Amino acid sequence: MPYWKFQLIHRHLRPFDHSKIDETAPLPKVFQAANEWSNHIQAVSAEIFVPGSHLAVDECIIRYTGRSNETTLVKGKPDPLGFKIWVIAQQGFFIRWLWHIKEAKYVAVGVEPPPPKSSTQGRGGRGGGRGRGAAKAAGKKPATEDKPIALNSTQSVVVALANMLPKATYHVFVDNLFSSSDLFRSLRKHGHGATGTARPNCGIHKELQQDKKADGGAKTSYEFNQVKVIPTPDNQVLASDTFGM
């Protein structure tokens, strides 16, 4: 669209008040301009759409090929260039979303991960277990459910989006961009189940790591219609919908 045509349209249609744009605000100007409409659409959607129990969280691109410092290039996507948002959806309906801010401390607006774990808590499901051994040797109990579970900024988006929905028990489906044992444990703490594809280094059991690395190259030991049972490192009983592959 040429500039003169944009000016002609903008003379009669103004979706935002330019006088309310704050140049010093942490939220980029392009998102400030769209934020009022975005909040209105989400509020109306929440009134007319009651989400079911099974939801999906993923990253999405709003196609935009104009000039902006806030556009993101994600190669391999149908629309690789545009504004990136984090979405929780059901059956193709976007229920809630968060803006993705490039080069920000936290990748999404309004999301702050819990504080990192202390060194006495070990590596939290990433094949360590040394923290638990040290705690037992010192006569201390392992970390309790009351302590926050440390997540990286991307994983924290999943919990934040789930908490934006009406209070209920949900089952969240994610891909390997988000999946980790810490994320699934955190969702369980918030009362939600989770299923997702996993990367070999995301903290899954060593036996699953080996099978995933061999996937496609050799036949694994998993037979169709059979259940594979692997105990957790601390032998704690967990609900069957806490972890997925």
Q: Over 50: is that where the pLDDT of 239 sits?
A: no
pLDDT band at residue 232 using 50, 70 and 90 as cut-offs: low
The pLDDT value recorded for residue 38 is 93
Which tens digit of pLDDT belongs to each residue from 30-61? Answer: 899 899 999 999 999 989 999 999 999 999 99
Three-state SS at 153: helix
Q: Is 160 exposed, middle or buried (0-12, 13-18, 19+ CB in 10 A)?
A: buried
| 208 contact partners, CB below 8 Å, separation of at least 6 | 198, 230, 245
The pLDDT value recorded for residue 12 is 87
pLDDT band at residue 130 using 50, 70 and 90 as cut-offs: very low
The amino acid occupying position 147 is K
The pLDDT value recorded for residue 121 is 44
pTM over 0.75: no
Which tens digit of pLDDT belongs to each residue from 188-204? Answer: 999 999 999 888 777 77
The amino acid occupying position 50 is V
Task: State the Cα–Cα distance between residues 20 and 43, nearest whole angstrom.
Answer: 21
The pLDDT value recorded for residue 241 is 46
CA 152, chain centre distance (Å)? 10
Which of 24-33, 84-93, 215-224 reaches the highest mean pLDDT? 84-93
Share of the chain above pLDDT 90, in %: 33
pLDDT band at residue 110 using 50, 70 and 90 as cut-offs: low
pLDDT band at residue 109 using 50, 70 and 90 as cut-offs: low
Q: What is the mean pLDDT of residues 166-179?
A: 93
The angle formed by the CA atoms of residues 130, 134 and 138, to the nearest 5 degrees, is: 170
Residue that wins the pLDDT comparison between 173 and 151: 173
Which tens digit of pLDDT belongs to each residue from 53-70? Answer: 999 999 999 999 888 889
| 32 contact partners, CB below 8 Å, separation of at least 6 | 16, 20, 21, 22, 25
Beta strands, E only, the chain? 54-63, 72-73, 81-90, 93-99, 171-174, 193-196
